[in-house]
Amino acid sequence: QSVLTQPPSASGTPGQRVTISCSGSSSNIGSNTVNWYQQLPGTAPILLIYSNNQRPSGVPDRFSGSRSGTSASLAISGLQSEDEADYYCATWDDSLNGPVFGGGTKLTVL
């Protein structure tokens, strides 16, 4: 059981916009910034979004993040086949005194 809650799956067609939600509590998302990681099949995760909405160098601006209250979301616009991957949200949890992850969302491009 993950501390942060994500839908197990999401899907969209090429060119479409999809969003993935991440729900937490006052001790984590409610008081800390949210990061997102992308994990392509058979590879290590990579940082996709940090500090709620910042993109590391090299990440396309099709990817965007937001946070409101105790929830966050990742939006992917202009969906491409290479976006098919698992996506994880993460943040610091003040009660657990460490980082926590969501259970991950498997994105399928139809």
Partner 1 sequence: QVQLVQSGAEVKKPGASVKVSCKASGYTFTSYDINWVRQATGQGLEWMGWMNPNSGNTGYAQKFQGRVTMTRNTSISTAYMELSSLRSEDTAMYYCARGANWNLDYYFDYWGQGTLVTVSS
Summarize as ranges the residues that interact with partner 1 (CB under 8 A): 2, 32-33, 35, 37, 44-47, 50-51, 56, 88, 90, 92, 96-104
Q: Assess contact for 101 and 1: CB atoms under 8 A.
A: no
Nearer CB in complex with partner 1: 30/103: 103
Query: Cβ of 26: how many Cβ atoms within 10 Å?
Result: 11
Q: Considering the complex, state which of residue 16 and residue 54 has its C-beta at the smaller distance from partner 1.
A: 54
Q: How far is the CB of 16 from partner 1 (least distance, A)?
A: 25
By beta-carbon proximity to partner 1, the closer residue of 52 and 79 is 52
Name the pairing type of β-strands 105-109 and 9-12: parallel
Phi, psi of 47 (to 5 degrees): -70, 125
